[in-house]
Amino acid sequence: MTKVTVYSTQNCPYCRMAKAFLEKHGVSYENIDAGSDFEAAKKMIDISGQRGVPVIVVDDEVIVGFDSVRLNELFGETNTGESYDVVIVGAGPAGLTAGVYCARKMLNTIIISENIGGQALESWAIENYMGYRMISGEDLMKKFEEQVRTLNIRLELDKVTAISKDNGLFTISTGFGNTLKAKAVILTQGNRPRKLGVANEEQYLGRGLSICSTCDGPLYKGKQVAVVGGGNSALQTFVEMSDIAQSVILIVRSTIRADPVYMEKLKEKKNITVYTSTHVSALHGDKFLSGITIKDEQGKEQTISLDGVFIEIGWLPNTDMVENLVQLNDKKEIIVDINGHTSIPGIYAAGDVTSVKSKQIVIASGDGAKAALEAFEYVLKSPSA
């Protein structure tokens, strides 16, 4: 009998998805909350070398993060030759909304994504989505997911690795080795976090350097941390971590560019320090991060001892798999018209992966709906419809 243990934190969306994957495949597991149990957190760090969740232990194998490819190798299955009217790539606000509209149009649809919720998952609090005075990103995306799961639509945790078009049909290949056919494709795969770009950065990821404060924040209770960035996401993380950590430093390359609501919350905090016109120039530590060096515009450097750094300096579009298929702009975003059409007939795109200027959940959702309606018309006109 395989023994599976999942170390998680209460609000970690990737922990939830790891557990959902195991449950879907009938795998029993023990869940341990490393965010509220200090001794459990210490044990997790000892066995994994990571200060980040989830950590999944399968017998003697330690899996760091929601490694869907490895989990599928252990517990999943491979399917080839399945055909759909529409394949939606990505399950953030745009992809899930597109799925609802496709299902309402009675299209045979599958959503394929590495996670459910996308970038929105990492928002501690959303205060500008209509119908909610305030809601966490995870809770909002749960509601999106719940609505999708009431409909006749497949939602698969997998990674699309390639898309090609031949004889009017699209072939979609995935990281699990699946091959699907579709009449139309909607691209909503969003963005990935931008990295600091300093030496040894990869060495410290999950070892004091985090790109998901929602996941890892509870592990830094009572510790000294820094947040790098000056936009809304950075200020939101900065404010939230000030309630968890002993002290928080904000490091901004130029000036703070956040909305006034976050600036007002910033004024209420006492355990914070802000450095503007400053960037991280070096990371320090042995096994775990123990300090950083920052440099200002005059070249003056300062070394600061701390336990963790949360990176919030922007995002890069996930377009590597389609860069030779659809037209991209100079930011590597998918160029779309007002209705979500790309340069290839039958391929539509919506959300943060596109050239649409404003990156907002409500805009992504609306554009996902438009893309689905356009895909419906395309499928109706296709020769095999």
**Cβ distance 75 to 174 under 8 Å?**
no
Q: Same structural domain for residues 182 and 227?
A: no
> How far apart are alpha carbons 336 and 326 in whole angstroms?
10
Query: Is 162 found in the same domain as 14?
Result: no
Domain endpoint, select from 290, 311, 332: 311
Q: Are residues 325 and 277 in the same domain?
A: no
Count other C-beta atoms under 10 Å from residue 148's C-beta: 22
Tokens of 351: 């959300």
Of residues 189, 177, 148, the one with CA closest to residue 82? 177
Question: What is the C-alpha separation between 198 and 184, in angstroms, rounded?
Answer: 41
Q: Are residues 326 and 180 in the same domain?
A: yes
Same domain, residue pair 187 and 122: yes
Q: What count of other Cβ atoms lies within 10 Å of the Cβ of residue 286?
A: 7
d(CA 323, CA 316): 13
What's the Cα-to-Cα distance from 300 to each of 148, 230, 297, 362, rounded to whole Å? 53, 20, 7, 42
262 and 337 share one domain = no
Same domain flag for 99 and 184: yes
pLDDT at 310: 97
In this structure, how many other beta carbons lie within 10 angstroms of the beta carbon of residue 305?
A: 10
Report whether 375 contacts 186 (CB < 8 A).
Answer: yes
Q: Which domain holds residue 320?
A: 80-192+316-381
Question: CA 110 to CA 99: how far, in whole Å?
Answer: 8
H/E stretch holding 96 reads helix 93-104
Is residue 61 within 8 A of residue 36, CB to CB? The reply is no
CA dist., res. 149 & res. 359, Å (int)? 26
What is the structure's pLDDT at 11?
83
Query: With b meaning 16 or more CB within 10 Å and e meaning fewer, what string describes 61-77?
Result: ebbbbbebebbbebbbe
Q: Domain check: are 69 and 86 in the same one?
A: no
Between strands 160-166 and 154-157, the pairing is: unpaired
Q: What is the CATH number of the domain that holds 56?
A: 3.40.30.10
Q: How far apart are CA 202 and CA 221, in angstroms?
A: 23
pLDDT for 385: 47
Asked if 186 and 322 sit in the same domain, the reply is: yes
Structural domains counted in the chain: 3
Query: Which domain-ending residue is among 75, 94, 125?
Result: 75
What's the CA gap between 221 and 203, in Å, rounded? 23
Domain boundary among 256, 277, 311: 311
333 by DSSP, 3-state: which?
A: coil
Based on the domain organization, do 230 and 255 belong to the same domain?
Answer: yes
Mean pLDDT by 10 residues, the chain (385 residues): 93 87 92 95 95 96 91 81 95 98 97 91 86 92 95 92 94 91 97 94 95 92 97 92 96 94 88 96 96 97 97 95 96 98 98 96 97 97 68
Query: Which tokens go with 242?
Result: 């000030």
Residues 234 and 307 in one domain: yes
Mean pLDDT score across all residues of the chain: 93
Q: Cα 109 vs. chain centroid, distance in angstroms?
A: 22
* DSSP structural state of residue 38: H
Residues 95-133: pLDDT tens digits? 999 999 999 999 999 999 988 998 898 787 898 899 999
Same domain, residue pair 84 and 187: yes
What pLDDT is stored for residue 384 in this prediction?
Answer: 56
Specify the 3-state DSSP secondary structure of 264. Answer: helix
Rounded percentage of the chain residues whose pLDDT exceeds 90: 80
Kindly state the tokens that stand for 270: 């006492």
Q: What is the separation of C-alpha 85 from the centre of its chain, rounded to a whole number of angstroms?
A: 26
